[in-house]
Chain A
């Protein structure tokens, strides 16, 4: 990020001079900053809602059920953290939320998992293996019920809004598998 961020900003600045777009660029600076404030206000509501519900899940038997259900996959994905109970709980909730297409619930659970994983991380400056896997899985995110897209298609008058599900499954699974395999290779190579 310390390289990418300045590069994006500087290149954008130079390109907009070359392109005669400098006025747009200037406006975008102020509008992006105020966009964040609007976004954060909705975000804080959603985060609190799902953090609260997550706490209830953790205190009930639902948690054990989730863990039992996901354990075989999660043990393989996060071999170094399989005994970290708090982290695995948060990761389970994060995974289920991604499956169901509730991004609002996935983020607080994912960040909670990062916090727990950081506690067992030996080198705090560097992402641990489990963190890398968690991040990659959240960027590719398998979605079984793509609620937003179906809603958009329905509102634009599609005859069969949910016919999109099959192509989405194939494409999201292809992407996620690629991500997982590449991450496993990347992590293995670094160890040597």
Chain B
């Protein structure tokens, strides 16, 4: 399986380039032409990223997230929900790197094949960093009115986390 996850990206790159070759395209020229767009896109994203990381960093270091997730952890404990994963559920939509660190910590502490370890892994893979995606995508077109896009996105996150907790026994 490790082999499989290492082969997928080189395989895809090779397939793409192979398809270009058999159709007689100047693959290298096309590649370089396209790669230029990457610089423009990153430059465009930079100010948004500064803004998000500043707010997320302040939120994490203030201790507010731990405070809230402790309260919620106590509330849901009666419903057979392990309180250890509540902080992860909270931080997952907000920060990708922080939730990755937290999930790795939970999985190594409780074991990969325990219920808590499995739930943590599922939460990590089942959704994206919601706030980050919304901010980056909205900023890319300079749109001001979001049309409440955050509501379906967040409810979907909750549903996938609740599903993970329910199906893993």
Contacts and interface: CB of A to CB of B under 8 A. Distances in A.
- Secondary structure at chain B's binding surface: helix, strand, loop or mixed? helix
- Secondary structure at chain A's binding surface: helix, strand, loop or mixed? helix
Interface in A1-39: 1-2, 5, 8-9, 11-13, 15-16, 19, 21, 24-25, 27-29, 31-33, 35-36, 39
B121 to A, nearest CB: 5
B30 A55 contact: yes
A148 B140 contact: no
A186 B121 contact: no
A19 B19 CA distance: 59
Contacts of B155: 178-179, 182
A95 B159 CA distance: 21
Interface centre among A13, A101, A138, A140 (most CB of B within 10 A): A140
B167 A170 contact: yes
A109 B155 CA distance: 25
B134 interface: yes
A190 B138 CA distance: 19
Interface string B15-39: 1110110010101001111111111
Interface residues of B, number: 95
A11 B34 contact: no
Give the size range of A's interface with the partner. 35 or more
Contact of A186 (B16, B41, B147): B147
A162 B138 CA distance: 35
Interface string A104-143: 0001101110110110010011110001101110111101
Contacts of A44: 38-39, 42
A52 B32 contact: yes
A157 interface: yes
Nearest to A174: B163
B19 A60 contact: yes
A128 to B, nearest CB: 9
Interface of B: 1-2, 5, 8-9, 12-13, 15-17, 19-20, 23, 25, 27, 30-39, 41-42, 44-46, 49-51, 53-64, 67, 93, 97, 100, 103-104, 107-108, 112-113, 118, 121-130, 133-138, 140-149, 151-153, 155-157, 159-161, 163-164, 167-168
Given A151-B2, A172-B127, 11 more contacts: A8-B59, A25-B58, A25-B61, A51-B41, A52-B31, A55-B34, A62-B15, A118-B141, A136-B152, A175-B156, A179-B155
Interface of A: 1-2, 5, 8-9, 11-13, 15-16, 19, 21, 24-25, 27-29, 31-33, 35-36, 39-40, 43-44, 46-57, 59-62, 100-103, 107-108, 110-112, 114-115, 117-118, 121, 124-127, 131-132, 134-136, 138-141, 143, 145-154, 156-164, 167-168, 170-172, 174-176, 178-179, 182-183, 186-187, 190
